[in-house]
């Protein structure tokens, strides 16, 4: 631009031309500045739009993940919803077993015991419907995930590590152990 | 613009000026077209940005509402989590009451009955911990929200509409009725 300005001649047309050129120059410069400003604004807005879109995508992904987690939590909560009350009922089941283990001699007591056993069965049915199960122990290999060894004995006629006797019933709620069974294990 | 063009005069300077003006005119028109195009693009992008921001705001609000609803659901699920198993246990409680209502004559049966009553108490404690409560009925005014009238009687000594007798216990889980009590009401 400076070079062009130095080429100024004295002739009117030349001057005219020169003026026109100068005018053009100025306009072009202004235009460029304007363009730069506009392009800058456009770029900025486009960048902001891009960021906003990315934020939306992340937010939507977070939302979906949250929904999935909530669903899984809900299923677990539902599956084990009776865990607290069933855990509290385990001693009741123990008490039932103890009461029913007592030998009855009189007919009256035997009749009452029969009634009590029916009540016990109805309770077992109610808790079984909710997913409470006894843990298998006598005659199966000792498994620390299900059994708690409180005694050991040596029985040559049986395999080593086999549960010889169940001392207290163990219970699980579906696949979750509520209480391991207390057992006597073969050495 | 047309007016400006018609104002053209013959003087050189005027012509010069005119040329300059024409030059300016042309540039301005071109600029305007460019500007319109750019402004259009900028406006479009700005509009899109605006929409994207609004979408984000709505999405965020949806997310917050969802979280709030999930929290409330979770609290309700937690509060009434034992409802199914407790409902299944109600007949067990009835059976207990029936078994314990039997008169015992022998000492053996009385001893067994005492044991059974202890088992019953331990079951009542376990379910009470979870929020199971009996519904008050005898002596209170009949309320269809809590009581189911299965018999009526006329007792002049008592107020009309009073529950005279409870025929079967009713239960609620916290503030939710699991089973109304079956009652005899004073006419």
Query: Is this complex scored with an ipTM above 0.95?
Result: no
Mean pLDDT by 10 residues, chain A (187 residues): 44 50 57 66 91 94 97 94 96 93 88 92 96 96 97 94 96 97 96
Q: pLDDT digit string (tens) for B101-150?
A: 888 889 988 989 999 999 999 999 999 999 999 999 999 999 999 999 99
Q: Which of B112, B110, B88, B103 is nearest to A116 (CA)?
A: B112
Q: pLDDT digit string (tens) for B15-60?
A: 555 555 555 555 566 666 666 666 688 899 999 999 999 999 999 9
Residue A102's pLDDT is 86
Interface test with A, best of B13, B37, B123 (most A CBs within 10 A): B123
Half-sphere exposure of B7 (CA within 13 A, CB side): 10
Q: How far apart, in whole angstroms, are the C-alpha atoms of residue A31 and residue B88?
A: 84
**Cβ contacts (< 8 Å) between A16 and chain B: which residues?**
16, 19
Interface test with B, best of A48, A71, A91, A123 (most B CBs within 10 A): A123
Answer whether B140's CB lies under 8 Å from B170's CB: no
Q: How does DSSP classify residue A161?
A: T
Residue B25's pLDDT is 54
* A113: Cβ contacts below 8 Å, ≥ 6 apart: A100, A102, A104, B112
Buried b (16+ CB within 10 A) or exposed e, B101-132: eeebeeebbeebbebbeebbebbeebbeebbb
Cβ-defined contact of A60 to B59 (cutoff 8 Å): yes
A42 touches chain B (CB under 8 A): yes
């Amino acid at each position: 631009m400076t070079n062009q300005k130095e080429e100024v001649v004295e002739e009117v047309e030349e001057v005219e031309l020169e003026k026109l050129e100068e005018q053009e120059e100025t306009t072009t410069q202004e235009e460029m500045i304007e363009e730069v400003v506009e392009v800058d604004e456009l770029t900025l807005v486009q960048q902001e739009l891009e960021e906003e879109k990315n934020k939306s995508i992340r937010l939507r992904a977070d939302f979906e993940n949250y929904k999935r987690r909530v669903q899984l939590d809900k299923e677990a909560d539902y599956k084990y919803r009776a865990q607290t009350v069933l855990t509290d009922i385990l001693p009741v089941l123990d008490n039932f077993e103890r009461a029913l283990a007592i030998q009855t001699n009189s007919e009256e007591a035997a009749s009452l015991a029969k009634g009590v056993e029916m009540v016990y069965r109805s309770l077992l049915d109610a808790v079984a419907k909710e997913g409470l199960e006894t843990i298998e122990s006598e005659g199966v290999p000792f498994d620390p995930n299900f059994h708690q060894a409180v005694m050991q004995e040596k029985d040559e006629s049986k395999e080593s590590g086999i549960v010889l006797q169940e001392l207290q019933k163990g219970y699980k709620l579906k696949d979750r152990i509520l209480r391991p069974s207390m057992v006597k294990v073969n050495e």
